[in-house]
């Protein structure tokens, strides 16, 4: 995996990330091979069965961009880009204000055109780009989300997803 995060690129094992703020360091990753992840706070969370990563009271103000067009998974999230299938990731009381973009188009500033760029599994979410196990509660996205598969709060992928979502998850317009 190639990953980029506004605070940390890669987290391994059970971890707690609390009260972190990315005040505007733009997070960009680009690759043409393997899995790539970009997150406003954490790029990628890796772990084993039974391990839990908790992210609380974190805020991202930066834009997050994943321009990868590889055959692997490409993810971008306002707080977390992606976590693996075994680790539980619990996110609470987090906010994203930056825009999130994942690899479907590339903008050419010279002629102001958008050109299609192929990505096998582009996933973008205002809070997390790809989420399989864990909870997301009282977390808010205020930024735009653009991708082939885009959701305001979370982009879920996987036939065995065990996500739970509280009623306090929203996309609110106008910050």
- Could you read off the pLDDT tens digit of each residue along the chain, which spans 175 residues? 688 999 999 998 889 999 999 998 788 777 666 788 899 999 999 878 888 899 999 999 999 988 776 656 788 999 999 888 677 888 999 999 999 988 755 556 676 665 555 555 678 888 988 877 788 888 888 888 887 665 555 554 332 233 333 333 333 333 3
Going by C-beta distance under 8 Å and a sequence separation of 6 or more, which residues neighbour residue 78? 39, 40, 60, 64, 96, 97, 98, 100, 125, 126, 127, 128, 141, 143
Cα–Cα distance list, 101 to 88, 148, 149, 161, 164 (Å): 24, 10, 10, 23, 24
């Amino acid at each position: 995996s190639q990953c980029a995060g506004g605070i940390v690129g890669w987290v391994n094992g059970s971890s707690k990330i609390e009260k972190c703020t990315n005040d505007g360091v733009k997070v960009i990753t680009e690759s043409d091979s393997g899995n790539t992840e970009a997150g406003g706070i954490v790029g990628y969370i890796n772990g084993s069965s039974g391990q839990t990563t908790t992210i609380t009271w974190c805020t991202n103000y930066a834009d997050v961009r994943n321009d990868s067009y590889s055959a692997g998974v490409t993810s971008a999230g306002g707080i977390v880009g992606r976590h693996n299938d075994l680790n539980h990731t619990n996110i609470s009381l987090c906010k994203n204000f930056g825009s999130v973009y994942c690899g479907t188009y590339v903008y050419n500033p010279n002629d102001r055109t958008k050109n299609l760029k192929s990505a096998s599994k582009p996933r973008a979410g205002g809070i997390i780009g790809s989420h399989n196990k864990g909870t997301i509660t009282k977390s808010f996205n205020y930024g735009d989300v653009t991708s082939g598969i885009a959701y305001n709060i979370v982009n879920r992928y996987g036939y065995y997803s065990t996500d739970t979502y509280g009623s306090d998850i929203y996309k609110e317009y106008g910050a």
